[in-house]
Chain A
Amino acid sequence: MVLSLPMRILLVEDEEKVARFIERGLKAELYAVDIARDGKTAIYHLEHDPYDVVILDINLPDVSGNDVLRYIRKSSRPVPVLVLTARSGISDKVESFGQGADDYLTKPFSFTELLLRVNALLRRGQIINTNDVLHIADLSLNRAAHQVKRSNRVIELTSKEFALLEYLMANAGRVLSRTMIVEHVWDQSFEGLSNIVDVYVRQLRVKIDEGENLKLLRTVRGVGYSITEEGA
């Protein structure tokens, strides 16, 4: 993404260490990040600077995250908001969405997931990359024709395998967690289902990488899977 101005993100988080690693990660992705440690500071920042996305921890001292959310919704500049919370209760989720949160992430989360969600919020209203064909090295995936090729070898994939490969290739170079894969490909999230990801990745690896010198599917222990040109 080459832009004249970096995208500007306001991170509202009272836990210093959490704020620090998110900031570092986002800066590595070339985003400009401001940090607010409490609700008052957050509102002050929002009054004075234009932001492209707000990452908001809902549990804040003094002015609560929900108050900040309400403030944003009332202001004249609509900013997409990603809410972070330490609770997984449905009531919190409902409340946050009711207050106008655009997305929702429960702690602890994978940073890649945070990044993908922030990117999705930033892309909103813009034309989404809908290339019909995705490429990694000599692997190509044709969305329209539902076809996958390695060099000139046509690879037969089941629909779930195809969806998994498409998700990995659309986020090439990024490590995707099992949870993210289950939520995206299976549209669900259960502990027992995350084992399925391993099975599918293994099947996919056999079909794509077996017999090839350059292995594209990479396992990052404890984090997840990715597909990269550098190989595994």
Chain B
Amino acid sequence: MKASRSIRTKLITFYVGILALVFVCFGLYIYAGFKTYLIHSIRQTLTWRAQQIASTFLQEIPVKGESMVGNEIQTRYAPELNERVIRITDARGHQVYGSKNSEVLAQALPEPVPGNQSESAPIPSQVMLPNGDRLEVITVSRRIADGAIYTVEVGAPETDISTALAGLTGTLILGFPFLIGLAIGGGYILLGRALKPVDQIVSAAEAITSKNLRQRLPVSKTGDEFERLSSALNRMIERLDKSFQLTTRFAADASHELRTPLTIMRGELEALVKDPAMNEDLAERIGNVLEEAERLTRIIEGLLLVSRLETGEAQMRKDKFDLGEMINEISDQMAPLANDKLLTLNRRITPGVLVEGDEMRLQQVGVNLLDNAFKYTPEGGEVSLEVWAESDFAIIVVSDTGMGISDQALPHIFDRFFRAEQARTSRTSGTGLGLSIVQSIVEAHGGKVLVESQEGLGAQFRVELPLVKLPDTVMMEKIGVGV
């Protein structure tokens, strides 16, 4: 769930970033292009106008006179009304005609008119107006019939261009968040749909543990990457399954192979020990070896049990029974061990806490936890045992006032063959598998074991098992209430 959300965010961030960049570049390009186009078209208009003035009105100067022509231009173009600037000067710099706003123009200089032509090429220039606008000016010089040269200047401010460009910028700025929003929203929905198979694969993969390695992930025959991913994961699970089976096989084979030599050792040594001719010292030493052979047997049994429980190969009964009653019986049987060490055993056991499972194996959980508590609590200490039901769980808590477990040891306490430093020095007769067995059995029942400890102050083991809830009528019958 989390992974798909983050990949979604990453992808959206990435492509929205690219989209924004593209949009900005595109905007700048459009802006620049549009501006160039507008200036170009203004210049074209101005050029066309200047050439028109040069080719029509200037020709009439020798006939009508300079002032007459000026008036005609004024009437025809009304430059002030159209925000146009028009000025005509002769070759000596004398102004023949100038619109009222023409004083912004610099001193006019005639453009060279090539000898074989009557008109110069149009020259563009810009003039800063006092109000900050720029004025586009086109200058054209013309040689008229009597050989005199006049220069025509036509100008128009760029105000229109600025307005058009401001409009364009506004449109672009308005469009930007809309486009980005659309990209994010669309991407979110599309990617969510595309990544849905990932969620399915994740939840299916989470459900696969060492106990159900025979399960496989669902493969949707879409032919895309997700099909390949789930098939690849399935192949990986298959390889894991095989190596797990090999490990279990190995544990079973090894324990089988070790049993025969142990049987022989034990049989021969027992016969020796019981031989009346055997001297006491030797019998003692052989007894020592026998004890170790027996411990080896217990280790093998334990190891095989743990590996079978972990791979789900162990056969488990599924009976409903009263956990409180069972723990009570166990603690009755084990009480002499506590008495022997002058330990106080406090019991708070609620009857009627029902669980479902293999009673024999769960008895072993109780035995191992109590045995541990008794072993690691010094004489005169206290061990308490509690059983109760809490929401959906049956809880067993075994706590003691023993030596406790160090912080370094605590995370490893359920590992096979792990022994805390204190345990190592205080006893050597165990198998190192007691708590591993407890954990394996509890987990095989769908429960868990928790441990808390403070070094020197004792330890507390808490077992949580799924509680079996009976319908009310059954419960009432059980506790003897008439219906």
Residues on A lying within 8 angstroms of B by beta carbon are 15, 17-18, 21-22, 24-25, 59, 86-91, 106-112, 175, 186, 188, 190-193, 195-196, 199-200, 202-203, 220-223
Contact = CB atoms under 8 A, between A and B. Distances in A.
B264 A90 contact: no
Contacts of A109: 263, 266
Nearest to A112: B270
A91 B315 contact: yes
B337 A223 contact: no
B288 A222 contact: yes
Contacts of A21: 264, 267-268, 271
B259 A221 contact: no
B364 A18 contact: no
A220 B271 contact: no
A87 B308 CA distance: 12
B371 interface: yes
A200 B339 CA distance: 11
B173 interface: no
Contact of B434 (A22, A91, A191, A220): A191
Contacts of A110: 266, 270
A18 B267 contact: yes
Interface stretch (B52-60, B122-130, B216-224, B294-302): B294-302
B298 A223 contact: no
8 nearest CB pairs, A to B? A221-B287, A222-B290, A192-B371, A222-B287, A21-B267, A108-B263, A192-B367, A108-B262
A205 B336 CA distance: 15
Given A86-B256, A111-B266, A188-B363, 19 more contacts: A15-B263, A18-B260, A18-B263, A89-B315, A106-B259, A107-B259, A108-B259, A190-B368, A191-B431, A192-B364, A192-B371, A196-B337, A220-B283, A220-B287, A221-B284, A222-B290, A222-B293, A223-B274, A223-B290
Interface in B224-273: 252, 256, 259-260, 262-271, 273
B370 interface: yes
A91 to B, nearest CB: 6
Contacts, number: 118
B267 A221 contact: no
Contacts of B434: 191-192
Given A18-B264, A21-B268, A223-B274, A193 B333 contact: yes
A199 B298 contact: no
A15 B264 contact: yes
B260 A111 contact: no
B291 interface: yes
Nearest to A88: B301
Nearest to A59: B256
A24 B367 contact: no
Interface of B: 252, 256, 259-260, 262-271, 273-274, 283-284, 286-291, 293-294, 297-298, 301-302, 304, 308, 314-315, 333-334, 336-337, 339-340, 363-364, 367-368, 370-371, 431, 434
B259 A192 contact: no
Contacts of A106: 259
Contacts of A190: 363-364, 367-368
B245 to A, nearest CB: 15
Nearest to A195: B337
A106 B305 CA distance: 14
B320 to A, nearest CB: 20
Nearest to B256: A86
Contacts of B340: 199, 202
Contacts of A221: 273, 283-284, 287-288, 290-291
Chain A CB within 10 Å — which of B294, B301, B308, B336 has the most? B336
A111 B267 contact: yes
B334 A15 contact: no
B333 A196 contact: yes
Contacts of B286: 222
23 contacts: A15-B264, A18-B260, A24-B271, A25-B267, A59-B256, A106-B259, A107-B263, A108-B262, A108-B263, A112-B270, A190-B364, A192-B368, A192-B370, A193-B333, A196-B333, A199-B336, A199-B339, A220-B274, A222-B287, A222-B288, A222-B289, A222-B294, A223-B270
Contacts of B271: 21, 24-25, 111
B334 A108 contact: no
Contacts of A24: 271
B377 to A, nearest CB: 14
Contacts of B371: 191-192, 195
Contacts of B294: 222
Given A190-B364, A221-B273, A223-B290, A108 B333 contact: no
B269 A222 contact: yes
A103 to B, nearest CB: 17
A118 B273 CA distance: 21
B18 to A, nearest CB: 63
Contacts of A107: 259-260, 262-263
A84 to B, nearest CB: 9
Nearest to B370: A192
A199 B337 contact: yes
A188 to B, nearest CB: 7
B252 A111 contact: no
Chain A CB within 10 Å — which of B274, B337, B339 has the most? B274
A214 to B, nearest CB: 18
Contact of B304 (A88, A91, A192): A88
Contacts of B263: 15, 18, 86, 107-109
A108 B266 contact: yes
Contacts of A108: 259, 262-263, 265-267, 293, 297
Nearest to A24: B271
Chain A CB within 10 Å — which of B264, B298, B315 has the most? B264
A222 B267 contact: no
Contact of B267 (A22, A188, A199): A22
Chain B CB within 10 Å — which of A86, A87, A203 has the most? A86
